[in-house]
A = this chain, B = another copy of it.
Amino acid sequence: MPDDDLPPLPGFDLDHFTPYRLSVAAERVSEELARVYRERFGLSIPQWRVLVHLASSGDVSVREIEARVAMEKSKVSRAASRLEAAGLIGKTVNDADRRLVRLSLTAKGRALMAELLPLAEAYQREIEARLGASFAAFAAGLETLLGARR
């Protein structure tokens, strides 16, 4: 019996608190997926995001990736530096606007993505299978939460 009697706290069940569950679920899924990037390809999540964006959108600047992929520009910048060091992307100055950096996949980076993207797609299908019939509603819910912001 810890205390005398104090005003009772409102009952609160963390397990039904959506922000918490959402956060833990995201962590688990990300971790599960990140293991593949890391162990098989030596990539971090920020690096993976940059690569995916390059693969689907051609050459882009750091700024574009920042906006498009929900990552701080410093995070993008550092991820890009490492990808460059690993020979997966190239960085050149944009001639039209010399403040901008033009990131582009190297042949090596392209080859890596050709291997990686199918794995990502397979994982996506696995998640859809796990969620079954409620997948559509779940995805819609995610979009709602994302759209409701700014």
By a beta-carbon cutoff of 8 Å, the part of chain A in contact with chain B is 2-3, 6-7, 9-14, 16-30, 32-33, 49, 52-53, 55-56, 58-59, 69-70, 104, 107, 110, 113-114, 117-118, 120-121, 123-124, 127-128, 130-132, 134-135, 137-146, 148-149
Contacts and interface: CB of A to CB of B under 8 A. Distances in A.
Contacts of A52: 12, 14, 17
B145 A134 contact: no
Contacts of A56: 9, 11-14
16 contacts: A9-B114, A12-B117, A14-B49, A14-B56, A17-B120, A17-B124, A19-B26, A19-B123, A23-B26, A26-B27, A28-B149, A130-B145, A134-B140, A134-B141, A138-B141, A141-B141
Contacts of A110: 6-7, 9
